[in-house]
A and B are shown apart, each in its own frame.
Chain A
Amino acid sequence: MHAAETPTLITSVFWLLLSVVTLLYYLAARHHRSPRFLQRLPLFAAGSTLMMLAFSPPMMAWAHHDIRGHMVQHVLLGMFAPLAWVLASPMTLALRSLPARYARWSSNLLRHPFFFYLTHPITATLLNIGGMYLLYATPLYQASLNNLALHLMIHVHFILAGYLYCWSIAGCEPSFHPFSFKMRLTVLLFGIAAHSYLAKLMYINLWPSLPFYSADDLQTAAKIMYYGGDLAEALLAIVLFNGWLENNRKRLVRFSKRYHIEDAFRI
């Protein structure tokens, strides 16, 4: 396997990147003088902290030789940290903080149909949960254990795909390609089902089947995936429905103002 210094180097690089990103969020929020983003700084910092935890030396060591450690790391990187980040609306903050010329250029780019297809809830689910099927149901996981570059790519894939999935389903940031509540809810339903089905398959077939993992550990890992995923996706469902409630309330305010019946509702 790799030299002893490599994991430390990976940890340092990721910690540095995460600190820089969090600092940028703070500076942009302060520059923007918007309380909305400063209030959400703790959420963004929580997301970064969870990711730092996932890349911390003890976690890296645990994940390296134990499938349970790998699964805890995976749940943190792919589900909880991205969800915390999404709730902080960093894309909106970034677009608002860019100089006008670059902001215009970025928004023209984001309007491109490519981003319609990329940010579509179905694409996001295929990339995120489809990626999990690819990793655990094929020899890909075994290959990643002996190949550092592949291993890192898989980690980065799960961070990005997890972020895309949460962003696309939550729909709490303004988007050039908004998708309906019904579409996002339906996709979330199938996403949860596909995730828990994979966890059950892993439990039954003892995936990823490698000689140095015991059956007990593999089954515990599958349960961590099942229940950890449940918790994260229930939180995602709460975010999704919260957006629905906000939207309905805004509609009700407009309606009651038009007909001067504000007193009828406690709004």
Chain B
Amino acid sequence: MRNTSRSRWGGVLIGVGLMAAVDEIIFHQLLGWHHFYDGATPALGLLSDGLLHAGEIIALVSGFFVLLELRHQRALHVTYAWAGGFLGAGGFQLFDGTINHKLLRLHQIRYDVPLLPYDIFWNLSAVVLILIGLWLLGRARKPTLTI
């Protein structure tokens, strides 16, 4: 008996953690668009940033262990896990693009350039990821292949 709900949640946790890692590696380290600290973050934002950062690490690790356990129990539903992964990644991206960047003003995507196109592209990519996740979820719900 495959556990679809746990498969999906395991995927969501990995999706969130991976997206956060991608953000850290590509935008902070490789492109250097984001800064470690941009000199404008309010104190509360900095504190919540610390908690969010801790949550991302725990999410990535716990997601892998949830899926690992399901595999041991032969209860992993792969498509649900992928759907969850895309939903988690897109959801995090959208959260980052709206709450973190705009509401808490933790940091911006890039500095010294007009921000609007970047913001639009950022949140659009989040919506695309979520749509892929929803499409996969729809496919997973159809009782076709069994492996």
A contact residues vs B (CB 8 Å cutoff): 185, 188-194, 196-197, 200-201, 203-204, 219, 223, 226, 230, 233-234, 237-238, 241-242, 244-245, 248-249, 252, 264-267
Among B58, B60, B73, which residue has its beta carbon within 8 angstroms of that of A252?
B73
Which of the 9-residue segments B49-57, B81-89, B133-141 touches chain A? B49-57
B90 CB → nearest A CB, Å: 23
Residues B9-31 near A (CB distance < 8 A):
none
B65 with A245: CB separation less than 8 A? yes
> Measured between alpha carbons, how far is A203 from B74 in the docked complex, in Å?
47
> Measured between alpha carbons, how far is A253 from B120 in the docked complex, in Å?
51
Which secondary structure dominates where chain A touches chain B?
Answer: helix
B61 with A238: CB separation less than 8 A? yes
Interface range for B: 20 to 34
Which secondary structure dominates where chain B touches chain A?
Answer: helix
Which residues of chain B are near A196, meaning CB under 8 Å? 50, 53-54
Which residues of chain B are near A264, meaning CB under 8 Å? 74
A200-B49, A204-B37, A223-B36 known; A190 vs B61 contact (CB < 8 Å): no
Residues B124-143 near A (CB distance < 8 A):
none
Which residues of chain B are near A189, meaning CB under 8 Å? 51, 54-55, 58
Interface core residue of B51, B61, B69 (most chain A CB under 10 Å) = B61
A245-B69, A266-B74 known; A197 vs B57 contact (CB < 8 Å): no
Residue of A nearest to B49 (CB): A200
Residue of B nearest to A204 (CB): B37
Among A188, A204, A242, A267, which residue has its beta carbon within 8 angstroms of that of B58?
A188
